[in-house]
């Protein structure tokens, strides 16, 4: 049967399926408006820029943000910091990770999830993924050693990992659990908010995230001593203590830390952004469901497995092709149709979200020639010796080499969704 003009791929001269401009994936950033301006100007008018020494007649925007964030997510304590990386480092230190310890992290996550482990003076152990494209609980259990102290579970690309099973494994082996919720703020699993399953949940407010102040982060915990230790590490000047110069109230309360304190300007922006989170999630979930419903019957194409559809933040749509050899052709054809899609993995294409490209880790590179934490006597005395290899997590290459990725901006229209679905169907008919 001859192909009609409308069916001809745009890459070969046919009409584009999607004729509207693609919207950048800055859900919170594109929603910035009068409320953010009002709160920032309030900070400036009050001349209250630093949380701990501001004019006493005014409340701290950062403190108000922490209270609102904890209440919204159902946690007892929230601590605002400068980034998710600083949240992760603070969390690792707070739970007692240090020299001689190993921390297991998935190999499909932004590099900062792994780098934070080295910053906490521990050794990263890289774990494989399953078809959720998040941590494989079976591989996690295989990679636990007597040196394992903690696990960083990442809710990657907006989707909850198998956090209940991972939490059970951590309890079984007496391991600390830290959740990296940088890409899944507002997501949930079986009705419980992500970031509240582990000892500490860590969030990002960097510009590409769901809600944003350009930079910023948050830690959540229910443990009062962990909260104290988080505060102590993030504020080396100990401004937060009831008696700044007092003696320790309990063993382990006081130690040297860093300065990861959030500014009042950032806190002001985030107050406004937090109020927009539910609306952004609702829009993205509607858009994703609309697109999926129109392409679900396509042969040769399988959606990424999502353990809890209701808890998915819907920031992205990822589907896997049966034939990895067709992935790049498929992605290129979609781009020609006006659909902002991409392949996820190529060995020769650098991407700091995939462990193959973490050269700092793969080479065990350190800022000084001593080679710590890999050569730390506390580690080697426990029999610690680690080798990183591109073959250590085969499912990452297997799954991601078959994956096509699309962002789901909250600001899309229903027409945008329909044209994206039309483009996917058009390309699938021609290529699969």
Known catalytic residues? 209
**Contact by Cβ (8 Å): 355, 361:** yes
Radius of gyration of the chain (CA): 23
Edge-to-edge, what's the strand order for the sheet holding 341-343? 301-303, 316-321, 403-407, 341-343
Of 274, 266, 262, 271, which Cα lies nearest the Cα of 213?
Answer: 266
Rounded distance between C-alpha atoms, residue 172 and residue 139, angstroms: 15
Measured CA angle at 335 (ends 334, 340), to 5 deg: 100
Residue 5: C-alpha distances to residues 339, 423, 425 (Å): 19, 14, 15
Rounded distance between C-alpha atoms, residue 182 and residue 109, angstroms: 10
Rounded distance between C-alpha atoms, residue 280 and residue 25, angstroms: 12
- The residue assigned the tokens 């419903």 is 293
- The residue assigned the tokens 């500490």 is 200
Rounded distance between C-alpha atoms, residue 25 and residue 123, angstroms: 33
Of 102, 178, 91, which Cα lies nearest the Cα of 376?
Answer: 102
The 3-class secondary structure across 39-74, one letter per residue, is: HHHHHHHHCCCCHHHCCCCCCCHHHHHHHHHHHHHC
Continuous H helices in 10-162: 34-46, 61-73, 84-94, 111-119, 137-142
């Amino acid at each position: 049967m001859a192909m009609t003009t409308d069916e001809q791929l745009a890459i070969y001269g046919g009409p584009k399926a999607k004729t509207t401009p693609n919207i950048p994936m800055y859900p919170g950033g594109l929603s910035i408006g009068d409320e953010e301006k009002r709160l920032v100007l309030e900070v400036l008018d009050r001349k209250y820029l630093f949380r701990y020494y501001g004019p006493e007649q005014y409340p701290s925007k950062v403190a108000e943000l922490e209270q609102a964030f904890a209440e919204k997510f159902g946690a007892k304590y929230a601590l605002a910091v400068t980034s998710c990386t600083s949240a992760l480092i603070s969390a690792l230190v707070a739970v007692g990770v240090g020299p001689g310890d190993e921390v297991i992290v998935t190999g499909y996550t932004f590099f900062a999830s792994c780098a934070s482990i080295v910053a906490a003076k521990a050794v990263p152990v890289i774990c494989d993924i399953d078809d959720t494209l998040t941590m494989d609980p079976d591989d996690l259990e295989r990679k636990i050693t007597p040196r394992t102290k903690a696990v960083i579970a990442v809710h990657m690309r907006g989707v909850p990992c198998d956090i209940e099973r991972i939490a059970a494994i951590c309890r079984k082996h007496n391991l600390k659990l830290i959740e990296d919720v940088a890409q899944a703020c507002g997501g949930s699993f079986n009705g419980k908010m992500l970031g509240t399953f582990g000892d500490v949940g860590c969030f990002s407010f960097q510009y590409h995230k769901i809600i944003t102040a350009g930079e910023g982060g948050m830690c959540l915990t229910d443990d009062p001593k962990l909260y104290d230790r988080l505060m102590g590490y993030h504020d080396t000047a100990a401004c937060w203590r009831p008696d700044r110069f007092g003696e320790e109230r309990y063993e382990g309360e006081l130690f040297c830390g860093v300065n990861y304190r959030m500014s009042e300007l950032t806190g002001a922006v985030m107050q406004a952004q937090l109020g927009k989170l539910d609306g952004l999630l609702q829009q993205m979930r509607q858009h994703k469901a609309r697109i999926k419903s129109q392409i679900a019957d396509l042969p040769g194409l399988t959606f990424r497995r999502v353990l809890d559809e209701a808890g998915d933040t819907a920031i992205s749509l990822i589907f896997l092709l049966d034939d990895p050899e067709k992935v790049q052709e498929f992605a290129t054809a979609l781009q020609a149709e006006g659909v902002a899609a991409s392949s996820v993995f190529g060995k020769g294409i650098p991407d700091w979200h995939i462990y193959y490209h973490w050269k700092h880790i793969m080479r065990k590179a350190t800022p000084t020639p001593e080679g710590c934490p890999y050569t730390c006597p506390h580690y080697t005395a426990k029999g610690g010796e680690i080798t990183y290899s591109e073959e250590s997590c085969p499912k990452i290459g297997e799954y991601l080499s078959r994956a096509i990725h699309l962002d789901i901006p909250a600001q899309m229209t229903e027409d945008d969704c329909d044209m994206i679905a039309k483009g996917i169907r058009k390309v699938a008919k021609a290529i699969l």
